[in-house]
Copies of this chain bind each other. A is one copy, B any other.
Amino acid sequence: MKVAVVGGSGYVGGELLRLLLRHPDVEVVQVTSDSMADKPLGRAHPNLRKVTSLTFTPHAELRAADATFVATPHGESMGRMPQLLETNGFVVDLSADFRLKDPAEYAAYYPTAHAHPELLAESVYGLPELHRSEIRTARLIAVPGCVATATILALKPLVDHHLVDGRPVVVDAKSGSSASGQDAGPAGRHAERSGVMRAYAPTGHRHTAEVEQETGTPVALSCHAVEAVRGVLATVHAFAARPVEEKELWRTYRTAYGEEPFVRVVHEKDGLHREPEPKILAGTNYCDVGFAADRHVPRVVALAALDNLMKGAAGNAVQCYNVRRGLPEPTGLEFLGLHPI
């Protein structure tokens, strides 16, 4: 397939290119970026030096393709989507523009009204674990947000098994610095971010809407910046409808994810790595999910870890591509991750 990448100079774009350049079903034919136009890909992504001779082209020079990945900032893909869908094959959009079904929700969390609300019904929320069959035939796939992905994968099985009592579920998420992209501003300076524990969104985080849409449960989400380059750890504190045993949680998660290639249930009795940790997932497409049953108060703690640039963005986008193309889902996503890192 001849594949185009729109907006390829950011962190997500870089990961996408790393994956696509080695993907057996993909030929990357163009990569757009206005800020890096005419420069080699390796200038933005030093790990791609000597791997490809492609250069960035301006957005305006985008040509037709068999499939297109869009990795532009939120709000930028909305306007051009009808045109893209006409000329550029199926579209995998990594921005937030087409994730929410309800335009009112979009307007509540994002700064402008939606430019093409008529496309929201058609777009598919690109989480294969929930929407695999719709992705197979989708024209427009909206890749979920990184915090939303972790939260949904931890929470959904609890909801499906009626383990949550209906009150808002508290989600306390921690994320690394690449989650804010290259333009994090002064807050992204090393001296400000190194060793930080900072509540950057104690309330009002945008992924709230995605999580509630996909789980059907009210969510109280708080997001923190911690020192790490990659990774999200979502700690889901769910008040239980009734006493829950660990055994039931094991069963719940195994039922949900036993066949999933990229969700691993991690809950060990000893060793250093008993519950999910994003650190050892860097570069992989895994979301590790774990849990604990609280004996002190009626609470289930569910934990999900992922690499925000991989299962939280580019890796999941490639998984969606594989689903859409009928390929084995791990195609191009075989990297096992490093330890230590």
Contacts and interface: CB of A to CB of B under 8 A. Distances in A.
A199 interface: yes
Contact of A190 (B170, B194, B266, B299): B194
A290 B187 CA distance: 19
Interface in A118-152: none
A199 B235 contact: yes
A235 B172 contact: yes
Contacts of A192: 190, 272, 340
B197 A231 contact: yes
A228 interface: yes
A74 interface: no
A272 B187 CA distance: 6
A237 B222 contact: yes
A237 B33 CA distance: 39
A282 B235 CA distance: 26
Interface string A194-214: 111111001110001000000
Contact of A198 (B197, B264, B277): B277
A190 B183 CA distance: 11
Interface string A1-26: 00000000001001100100110000
A189 B191 contact: no
A292 B204 CA distance: 10
B338 A283 contact: yes
A295 B204 contact: yes
Interface stretch (A41-49, A61-69, A75-83): A41-49
A191 B11 contact: yes
Contact of A336 (B18, B194, B278, B291): B18
Interface centre among A48, A190, A202, A203 (most CB of B within 10 A): A190
A339 interface: yes
A293 interface: yes
B22 A279 contact: no
Interface in A273-325: 273, 275-280, 282-284, 290-297, 299, 301, 303, 305
30 contacts: A14-B339, A18-B336, A18-B339, A22-B336, A43-B271, A46-B273, A47-B284, A47-B337, A49-B264, A170-B172, A170-B299, A172-B222, A172-B235, A178-B340, A182-B189, A184-B189, A190-B192, A193-B194, A194-B227, A195-B227, A196-B279, A199-B301, A204-B294, A220-B237, A220-B299, A226-B226, A229-B341, A230-B341, A283-B283, A283-B338
Given A50-B264, A195-B227, 8 more contacts: A11-B191, A167-B239, A168-B239, A172-B237, A174-B197, A176-B195, A177-B191, A283-B338
Shortest 7 CB-CB contacts between residues of A and residues of B: A191-B340, A172-B172, A190-B193, A202-B292, A197-B233, A227-B227, A46-B273
Interface of A: 11, 14-15, 18, 21-22, 43, 45-51, 167-168, 170, 172, 174, 176-178, 182, 184, 186-199, 202-204, 208, 218-220, 222, 224, 226-231, 233, 235, 237, 239, 264, 266, 271-273, 275-280, 282-284, 290-297, 299, 301, 303, 305, 334-341
